[in-house]
């Protein structure tokens, strides 16, 4: 990366347009995190995104940025809803991969030996691992159509959770405009047996304790109390979403080759959002996003049942409730103010999460006085964080913030670094019980492979685009 990077203010950096860049690239990061980004192609990718037609404002990169497919992971880009493009690489393969936080009134210190039993119960009840199949029967075509149209509401109708869960889910757990007919037969075949599954890779269900409250008012609004047990769930649309992305890349590739002037990276496949290819992808992407929300809703219910069976009682008895569910691989139609004018934009967030401020109409009523919850998961061994969106995020990043710690090692490098180590023993000595279906996944996802989430959260705070609310310390983790 040989372009000049200038400091805008503490925590914010900018690369001015050059060549075919239509807008600047703006990076939200500390000096340390920026230096880490220089070690891969993520800054180059942020500049490449700035070449896409219809891009508005700037090509943005969050503090957890690292190299991805076409867009950097941690990338945010908004395009004019009528004259801009949609890019599958700006959403990612795991459409609506996202994070869901559940709170309880259970005192973590009171669990004792039951903690291990609870971790094993969650591992048993929530199917995980590559190619895992769901705890519910393979969906019929009719049921799958309903899931793709209705999202999390389908799961609630079928006994997985409560209507209140939908109020605490981004977009109510359903994007309008989904069309099951836009989803290929192969994508449907891959998704039908996978509803209610965790998957593999960086997906997890983690039992945590609220270790420290950092913003009393916001924590109280979110129902977070120091010492209480929480559960953080990270998963997405599984094979269905992957196939939707793959299908769209193939369909759009030929049109992108004819782009004049040519785009700087052949991975930057895109189509006008108003074109037949663009409309078809958006309809399929929304369907995959709805599948992901239904998937997390089902898994939340499975975790609730595992908790009830292991600890006794029910949802009301142990104060089990959804704090929030937020997507971080998605493209959404939103209204934002740009240069003093309200505009309808198609906002791509790839490895980035929505971070709307207090008072925004899309923030649930219970949280509107403080703002939308934002989750920054850690790395199994170090804490995760709950943050809250800000007005600065709304003004500068289309209401977006980071989605996690961000990798520092490739999966291959992590496996090499883990060779010969007793990772399960290391984690237990750190006070974290790990139940993993695959030693390979455990090696790829070890804490050393990630940045410290605390550094990312501090960068968000300094830049003003999210404010820390609570630190969550891991107790037990279920991995694929």
Q: For the chain, what are the domain ranges? A: 6-479
pLDDT tens-place string over residues 109-136: 999 999 999 999 999 999 886 667 677 8
DSSP class of residue 263 equals: P
Task: Give the pLDDT mean for 304-333.
Answer: 96
The predicted pLDDT at position 163 comes to 97
So which residues are the catalytic ones? 403
The predicted pLDDT at position 137 comes to 81
pLDDT tens-place string over residues 233-273: 999 999 999 999 999 999 998 777 766 678 899 999 999 99
Percent of the chain with pLDDT over 70: 98
Query: How many Cα atoms within 13 Å fall on the side-chain side of residue 480?
Result: 20
The predicted pLDDT at position 261 comes to 75
Distance CA 150, CA 166 (A): 11
180: nearest Cα among 292, 280, 297: 280
Across 87-241, where does the E strand assignment appear? 98-107, 204-213, 228-235
The predicted pLDDT at position 200 comes to 85
Task: Please determine, for residue 1, whether its predicted confidence score (pLDDT) is greater than 80.
Answer: no
Architecture of domain 6-479 in this structure: Alpha-Beta Complex (3.90)
Least confident of 71-75, 130-134, 386-390, 455-459: 130-134
pLDDT tens-place string over residues 340-359: 999 999 999 999 999 999 99
Average pLDDT, the chain: 95
Distance CA 473, CA 475 (A): 7
**Could you tell me if 130 and 197 are in contact, meaning their C-beta atoms sit under 8 angstroms apart?**
no
Percent of the chain with pLDDT over 90: 90
The predicted pLDDT at position 186 comes to 98
**Could you tell me if 353 and 402 are in contact, meaning their C-beta atoms sit under 8 angstroms apart?**
yes
β-pair partners for 329: 350
Counting beta carbons within 10 angstroms of the beta carbon of residue 189, is it exposed (0 to 12), middle (13 to 18) or buried (19 or more)?
A: middle
The predicted pLDDT at position 129 comes to 65
* Main-chain dihedrals φ then ψ at residue 193, nearest 5 degrees: -90, 5
Task: Give the pLDDT mean for 372-395.
Answer: 97
Task: Give the pLDDT mean for 218-237.
Answer: 98
């Amino acid at each position: 990366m040989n372009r000049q990077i200038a400091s805008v203010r503490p925590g914010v950096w900018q690369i001015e347009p050059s060549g075919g860049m239509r807008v600047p690239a703006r990076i939200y990061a500390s000096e340390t995190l920026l230096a880490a980004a220089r070690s891969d192609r993520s800054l180059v990718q942020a500049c490449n995104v700035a070449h896409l037609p219809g891009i508005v404002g700037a090509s943005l990169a969050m503090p957890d940025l690292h190299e991805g497919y076409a867009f950097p992971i941690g990338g945010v880009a908004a395009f004019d809803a009528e004259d801009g493009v949609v890019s599958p690489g700006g959403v990612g393969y795991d459409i609506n991969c996202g994070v869901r936080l559940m709170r309880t009134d259970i005192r973590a210190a009171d669990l004792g030996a039951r903690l291990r039993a609870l971790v094993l119960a969650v591992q048993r009840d929530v199917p995980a691992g590559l190619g895992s199949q769901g705890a519910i029967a393979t969906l019929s075509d009719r049921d799958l159509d309903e899931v793709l149209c209705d999202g999390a509401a389908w799961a609630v109708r079928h006994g997985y959770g409560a209507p209140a869960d939908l109020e605490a889910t981004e977009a109510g757990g359903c994007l309008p405009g989904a069309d099951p007919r836009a989803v290929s037969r192969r994508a449907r075949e891959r998704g039908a047996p996978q509803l209610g599954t965790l998957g593999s890779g960086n997906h997890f269900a983690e039992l945590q304790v609220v270790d420290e409250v950092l913003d009393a008012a916001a924590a109280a609004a979110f129902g977070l109390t120091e010492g209480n047990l929480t559960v953080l769930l990270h998963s997405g649309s599984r094979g269905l979403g992957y196939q939707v992305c793959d299908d769209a890349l193939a369909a759009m590739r030929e049109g992108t080759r004819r782009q004049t002037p040519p785009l700087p990276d052949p991975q930057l496949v895109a189509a006008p959002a108003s074109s037949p290819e663009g409309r078809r992808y958006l309809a399929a992407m929304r369907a995959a996003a709805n599948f992901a929300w239904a998937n997390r809703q089902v898994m939340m219910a499975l975790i609730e049942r595992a908790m009830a069976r292991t600890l006794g009682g029910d949802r009301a008895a142990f104060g089990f409730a959804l704090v929030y569910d937020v997507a971080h691989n998605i493209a959404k139609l939103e209204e934002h103010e740009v240069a003093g004018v309200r505009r309808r934009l198609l906002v791509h967030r790839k490895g980035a999460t929505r971070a709307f401020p207090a008072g925004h109409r899309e923030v649930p009523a219970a949280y509107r006085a403080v703002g939308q919850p934002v989750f920054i998961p850690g790395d199994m061994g170090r804490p995760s964080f709950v943050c809250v969106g800000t007005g600065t995020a709304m003004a500068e990043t289309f209401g977006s913030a980071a989605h996690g710690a961000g990798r520092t090692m490739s999966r291959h490098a992590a496996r090499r670094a883990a060779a010969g180590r007793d990772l399960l023993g290391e984690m237990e000595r750190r006070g974290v019980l790990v139940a993993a279906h695959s030693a390979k996944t455990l090696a790829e996802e070890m804490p050393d492979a990630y940045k410290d989430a605390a550094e990312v959260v501090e960068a968000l705070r300094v830049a003003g685009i999210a404010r820390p609310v609570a630190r969550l310390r891991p107790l037990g983790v279920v991995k694929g």
